Chain A
Amino acid sequence: MAFELELISPIEVAKDVALAVQEYTLLSAQSLANFFRPPLYMGDMLQQADLIGVGSLPIVVLTGLSVGALLALNSASTLEQFGGISLIGRLVSIGMVTELGPLITGLMVAGRNASGMASELGSMIVTEQIDAMRALGTDPTKKLVTPRIGATAFMLFFLTIIADLLGLIGGYAVAHLLFGVDTQQYWTTVWQILVFRDVFTGLIKPVLFGFIISTVGCYYGMSTRGGTQGVGRSTTQAVVASSVLILVVDFFVTKLIFAIFGYR
């Protein structure tokens, strides 16, 4: 039995990508517009906030704590060589609040919730539940997508604050217990180094990441084709695409903020 490898035309691939970007943009725009068009499904939004926010809390607490501790551990030896161990609080503070807190929280929530959204909505597509919803006079983007966007952006904001705080606590634990940094000195440097720009950067990112996670998860879920195998494929694609997009957007947002506020 002979197998033939079918070559896919680059033009076809480009067309598919352009179509996917167009559909994703339309879904995102429509879902955002739904915030201003009643009915707003507050019950569904609260339910999603509980699932996404409270449900992700343990993993965010653990990662925040360990990333802060690891950041302190890895930088302490270098700082010690130059006699700058007292600056460890500054390093952990800037690293966690502006970059690692939002990024790690975003990636964790993407892994947990973008996949959840894609598989849940994908299953609803293949079992005709989305069609049934439309047939029953309800707009699925209003009922399913918009509440997920609102809940993810809102909850990621607070999850990031929690991750930042726990990262600083993790850093403190390492700095104080292993390197003997004074408690007051650590927290004073943590506090003093932060300026408005850092806090703004650290809090604008989770809102954008929340939007990316939910829209990508919902997009892959709503465009699922091909039964249970299709659901699996959508789930994987949602995690990969949202994680990559978070990293790309993170870079450009950081660059933009530097351009607006100037380098430190």
Chain B
Amino acid sequence: MSAPTLPIESPAALVANPSGYAIEFDNVSIAFDEKVVLDRISFRLPHGETKAVFGVAGSGKSTLLKLAIGLLRPDSGRIYVLGEEITHMSEQELFELRRRVGIVFQESALFDSLKVYENVAFRLMQEGISSAEIERRVREALRFVELERTYDMYPSELSGGMRRRVAIARAIITEPEVLLYDSPTGGLDPVTSNTIVELIVKQRDVYKTSALMVTHRLQDAFTMATHYFDKATNKMVALPKGQHCEVPLSFLILRDGKVIFDGDAHQLATSRDEYIREYIS
């Protein structure tokens, strides 16, 4: 049985204002070896919003992120990132755009032959920034993820959760306008997962960074929907009950390569779609 498709705005409406969103997918399709992974996907990510992307394994979530940063090219459709159409950009043009986009990979993808500070400073080193400035910014980024003590360590000396946090530090060091998280809490214990979620919420609420977050863990997204980051206490705190869902967070659910849900937490909770109800139960 094929997945039902939600009525979403026509592609023409999406293209009408291509620069108004951090990310836009317009009828994007991609297939590998004749297996269609994403089939005419369309959605928009407004500036400052975090969109949690759900779907069963193999539903194309990670592919979606790689398309959004230009690591993969779609077979058809158009992708806009920060108002620029990236679909036909050359790799060189994409390098320029990627300075404004950060990504945290599923298994962190830290360079294992480089120390933590070299990993975090990688992009800055390529840009020829002075070493004093690099050190200041690396320490600042590591302080953000509370791992300044790992400055001189190698990735192999860190735990899975610490590696994930270093990957976040590497992604945010250039203060990107968009962040892409690929299962940032996958395979981690609940306490470490909560630390990662807190960092994502901090990035959302303090720096107002737009983000796409692929995850399997519904509870992480609900924590993000019901909490905000309090700058005064430097902690993530729960929103009062009536103000739940008043944070810039939305949900996107993929099934069989199609978008079957794109909306906020309230719409998700009240959805009558059987598959979605089963998914969130």
Contacts and interface: CB of A to CB of B under 8 A. Distances in A.
Interface in B100-123: 101, 103, 105-107, 109-112, 122-123
A154 B278 CA distance: 63
Contacts of A136: 98, 122-123, 126, 170
Contact of A135 (B96, B103, B110): B103
A128 interface: yes
Interface in A61-91: none
Contacts of A135: 69, 71, 98, 101, 103
Nearest to B69: A135
B91 interface: yes
A176 to B, nearest CB: 47
Contact of B109 (A39, A128, A137, A139): A128
Contacts of A139: 91-92, 95
Interface string B171-207: 0000000000000000000000000000000000000
B40 interface: no
Contacts of B126: 39, 136-138
B47 to A, nearest CB: 21
A131 B122 CA distance: 14
A122 to B, nearest CB: 13
A200 to B, nearest CB: 39
A138 B96 CA distance: 10
B99 interface: yes
Contacts of A128: 105-107, 109
A132 B98 contact: no
B71 A131 contact: yes
A129 B106 CA distance: 11
B237 to A, nearest CB: 32
Contacts of B123: 136-138
Contacts of B96: 137
Nearest to B95: A137
A127 interface: yes
Interface in B102-148: 103, 105-107, 109-112, 122-123, 126
Contacts of A134: 71, 91, 95, 98
Interface string A124-146: 10011101111111110000000
Nearest to A134: B71
Nearest to A143: B126
A127 B167 CA distance: 13
Nearest to A131: B71
B27 to A, nearest CB: 24
A137 B91 contact: no
Nearest to A138: B126
A131 B112 CA distance: 14
Contacts of B44: none
A132 B170 CA distance: 10
A106 to B, nearest CB: 27
A145 to B, nearest CB: 14
B208 interface: no
B168 to A, nearest CB: 13
Contacts of B106: 128
A253 B126 CA distance: 40
B174 to A, nearest CB: 9
Contacts of B103: 132, 135
B66 A127 contact: no
A34 to B, nearest CB: 12
Contacts of B92: 139
Interface in A4-20: none
A120 B170 CA distance: 22
Name the residue among A128, A133, A135 with the largest chain B CB count within 10 angstroms: A135
B105 A131 contact: yes
A136 to B, nearest CB: 5
A156 B167 CA distance: 38
Nearest to A37: B92
A137 B91 CA distance: 9
Contacts of A129: 109-112
Interface of A: 39, 124, 127-129, 131-139
The 9 closest A-B pairs by CB, nearest first: A132-B109, A128-B109, A137-B95, A136-B123, A135-B103, A137-B98, A128-B105, A129-B109, A131-B71
Given A129-B109, A135-B71, A138-B126, 10 more contacts: A127-B107, A127-B112, A128-B106, A128-B109, A131-B109, A132-B110, A132-B111, A136-B170, A137-B98, A137-B123
25 contacts: A39-B126, A124-B111, A127-B107, A128-B105, A128-B106, A128-B109, A129-B109, A129-B110, A129-B112, A131-B66, A131-B105, A131-B109, A132-B103, A132-B105, A134-B71, A134-B98, A135-B103, A136-B122, A136-B170, A137-B96, A137-B99, A138-B95, A138-B126, A139-B92, A139-B95
